[in-house]
Amino acid sequence: MSLAGAIPVYRQAADPKVEARALDRLAKDPQIQRKLKDFQAAVAKAKDLDAALKDPRVLAVLLPAMGLGDQLEFPGLARRALAADPADPKSLLNQLSDARWKDAVTSLNLKGQGIAALRDPANLARFDKALRSLQWRQGLDETTAGISDALYFKQVSANVTSTYGLLGNAVLRRVVTGALGLPDELALQSVEAQSRAVARRLPITDLRDPQKVERLIERYLTNANRDGTGTSTTSYPLSLFA
């Protein structure tokens, strides 16, 4: 994707009406429906949460739906993290640097509800919508690098209260460091040093300003597409918004 094309794609994708139409088109997507049926069958068979989390059919839906699709290759970690107690300061959840794990467990109340959380119709509907949104955003990523990251950042960044919160979420971290032009080697420094490097360039209060958030996102997209990482170099995919 050309640098000129990345920003229009993002702005159009950020329109809630555009996403709603895209998700409606995917309502009967056979691949998504098959995954959800497999998920429900596995959850119905499982005697408890631990048993459910050992079934790859459960993780194949749960992780992507909760924004952890990049962790599918670590099923052992997933089982331990998702079954952990978020209130226990010594639990695995509170040792992991990636805050998405704790967010997922807390959001679904997995510790409190156990297997019932995975059988809850409201959560099933939530997983369905999340998988459709993910598939749509991944389609945009194929031609415009970073679109799904940008949309996620727009959605959740206002809730972040510290630079540690930014650095503790893999996606938010990628957007911020990419927008600020910070090198990958930053990760080799202490968390405190990383936090200072970000804070010097990005006051956390900027995340409360929608205009500043938009400028940050557009800087990220510009940098992400500077190398021509998208597959298209001529025009952005209007067919994805039709």
8 A C-beta contact, residue 48 and residue 111: no
Averaged pLDDT for residues 65-75: 95
Q: Can you tell me the distance from the alpha carbon of 141 to that of 119, in angstroms, rounded to the nearest whole number?
A: 31
Residues 6+ apart with CB under 8 A from 203: none
Tokens 């409190």, residue located: 112
Q: Give yes or no: residues 86 and 62 share one domain.
A: yes
Q: Give yes or no: residues 127 and 46 share one domain.
A: yes
The whole-model pTM stands at 0.82
Using the predicted structure, report yes or no on whether residue 68 has a pLDDT greater than 60.
yes
Using the predicted structure, report yes or no on whether residue 229 has a pLDDT greater than 80.
no
Using the predicted structure, report yes or no on whether residue 190 has a pLDDT greater than 80.
yes
Q: Give yes or no: residues 129 and 150 share one domain.
A: no
Domain range enclosing 122: 30-133
pLDDT score at 2: 52
B/e letters for 171-206, b = 16+ CB within 10 Å, e = fewer, are: bbbbbbbbbbebeeeeeeeeeeebbebbeeebebee
> Number of folded domains in the chain?
2
- pLDDT band for position 176 (cuts 50, 70, 90): very high
Task: Determine, yes or no, domain membership for 14.
Answer: no
Q: Give the CATH number, domain containing residue 45.
A: 1.10.3700.10
**pLDDT single digits (tens) 203-215:** 999 999 999 999 9
Using the predicted structure, report yes or no on whether residue 231 has a pLDDT greater than 70.
no
Residue 113's alpha-carbon distances to 51, 87, 119, 123, in angstroms, are 14, 14, 10, 12
Residue that terminates a domain, selected from 133, 161, 192: 133
Residue that terminates a domain, selected from 111, 133, 155: 133
Task: Determine, yes or no, domain membership for 187.
Answer: yes
pLDDT score at 97: 86
pLDDT score at 238: 32
Task: Determine, yes or no, domain membership for 140.
Answer: no
Question: Of all residues in the chain, what percent are helix, strand and coil, respectively (each to 5)?
Answer: 70, 0, 30
**pLDDT single digits (tens) 120-159:** 999 999 999 999 999 999 999 998 999 999 999 999 999 9
Averaged pLDDT for residues 188-200: 93
- Return the amino acid letter for 146: G
pLDDT, greater one: 9 or 237: 9
pLDDT score at 11: 94
